[in-house]
A and B are shown apart, each in its own frame.
Chain A
Amino acid sequence: MIRVVLPAHLRTLARIDGEVRLEMDGPATQRSVLDALEARYPVLRGTIRDQVSHRRRAFVRFFACEEDLSHETPDSPLPEEVALGKEPFLIVGAMAGG
């Protein structure tokens, strides 16, 4: 089970309270987590990664276990604590006012 924390705008958009818990088969990677997340919440398609290029949107970052995973490749394994559900995979919108 993978725990995912979304930024407020995306929780509102997808009508999610709190964390998302995803049951997944196979290795936990950014790609597999996002694929599972978008399959469960199709409205999130295009909001975290571009629908055409599949690149992470510029103002979105991925954190877990006090590390910035944004620049890891999409198929790199996520930390074991994330794969085991001990730590959440954090999807974070860039901090900015306005």
Chain B
Amino acid sequence: MSRVRVLVGTRKGAFVLTSDGSREQWRVSGPHFAGWEIYHVAGSTADPARLYASQSTSWFGQLIQRSDDGGETWRPVGNRFGYDGATGTHQWYDGTPHPWEFARVWHLEPSPSDPDTVYAGVEDAALFRSGDGGESWQELPGLRTHPSGPSWQPGAGGMCLHTVLLDPRDPERIYAAISAAGAFRSDDAGKTWRPINHGLKSEGIPDPDAEVGHCVHRLAMHPSRPDVLFMQKHWDVMRTDDAGGSWREISGDLPTDFGFAIDVHAHEPDTVYVVPIKSDSEHFPLDGRLRVYRSRSGGDEWEPLTNGLPQKDCYVNVLRDAMAVDSLDDCGIYFGTTGGQVYVSPDAGDSWKPIVRDLPAVLSVEVQTLP
């Protein structure tokens, strides 16, 4: 019978939640790396026993941990993230030039074909790659040195490269998203990059139609249709059908289109999930009701999913990397909250229950579907 392994990164450590395919009974392992911020834990699809974790604190910097046994044991690997060449400046919050400084790894994206190859999206925004299981890291500097780089500005959480999507059809094609620079695409395995933000509109930047400067919160892709991307922007839920050539808004009848997380059903490429958040100044669900919204039409038309979720007095947030889907026949949907809950829906969102209720604030959730 198939199993699932949920990898949870929190403000105070990592947790591994496992269950059989029924997703009824759960074993909780952790905290791993107790007391450290775990921005992301990711598993390799090429070797599900291979996991990578981003471990950091403001005090002691960045570590990368690796497990070769599905999270039972871990060992630190390379943590030298040196920018390649002169770093130059980006804009600071006040608009003045600010030197590029490495802060932390936000997101780890293992290669779908090689467990030793993994990408790291970091703050200040840059993309790194390891080809030796995380022992050493090399920047792909073409992104950071894009001519628009000096005009990039940080979002409130820092100038983070938070999304890395690898096209399963074309190993040369990589998508990355940076808050608050926008989305970018490479068609040559990361050597060169182009902004792909045509059609995004953002109030609060000097040119609301600018090619860069948009606060993209998250991108999602269905592997069977990699030219279609879904985006949760600061405000607005967006979609592209031509690999980022142009975007159109699909917020439709959402009660608010601010949010962070977005994901796609494992077997239905037009079924999309978001968690609407009240506003950019009030990072909690509208009316204190935690609702996931699902579109079965690729956007525009959305339905609230509330069964099992708190419908009063709920003021948690769901961060950008804190939603994931499994690939069991009945697709499971998972998300974690800043209140420490991790919820599962074993029926594609129709009903929900908490796996755990009292973890530290959840930063990230990933799911592995195991044989």
Contacts and interface: CB of A to CB of B under 8 A. Distances in A.
Interface residues of A, number: 19
Contacts of A36: none
B265 to A, nearest CB: 37
Nearest to A47: B60
B82 interface: yes
Main secondary structure of the interface of B (DSSP, over half): loop
Interface string B46-86: 00000000000111111100000000000010011111000
A96 B275 CA distance: 33
Nearest to A59: B59
Interface stretch (A19-27, A49-57, A67-75, A79-87): A49-57
B60 A93 contact: yes
Contacts of B35: 9, 12
A51 B34 CA distance: 23
A58 B60 CA distance: 9
A51 B36 contact: no
A31 interface: no
Nearest to B57: A9
Interface in A4-27: 7, 9-10, 12-13
Contacts of A59: 58-60
A47 B36 CA distance: 12
Give the interface residue-count category, chain B.
10 to 19
Contact of A51 (B57, B60, B80): B80
B63 A46 contact: yes
A82 to B, nearest CB: 22
Contacts of B102: 52
A39 interface: no
A43 B66 CA distance: 13
B60 A9 contact: yes
Interface in B174-189: none
B62 A46 contact: yes
B80 A46 contact: yes
A9 B36 contact: yes
B359 to A, nearest CB: 16
A46 B61 contact: yes
B59 A57 contact: yes
A12 B62 CA distance: 15
A59 B57 CA distance: 10
27 contacts: A7-B59, A7-B60, A9-B35, A9-B59, A9-B60, A10-B60, A12-B34, A12-B35, A13-B60, A13-B63, A43-B76, A45-B79, A45-B80, A46-B62, A47-B60, A47-B61, A47-B63, A48-B60, A51-B79, A51-B80, A52-B82, A52-B83, A52-B102, A57-B59, A59-B58, A59-B59, A94-B59
Interface of A: 7, 9-10, 12-13, 43, 45-48, 50-52, 57-60, 93-94
Given A13-B63, A58-B58, A59-B58, 8 more contacts: A43-B76, A45-B79, A46-B63, A46-B80, A51-B79, A52-B80, A52-B82, A60-B59
Interface of B: 34-36, 57-63, 76, 79-83, 102
- Enumerate the 4 nearest inter-chain pairs by beta-carbon distance, A residue then B residue, closest first: A47-B60, A59-B59, A51-B80, A52-B82
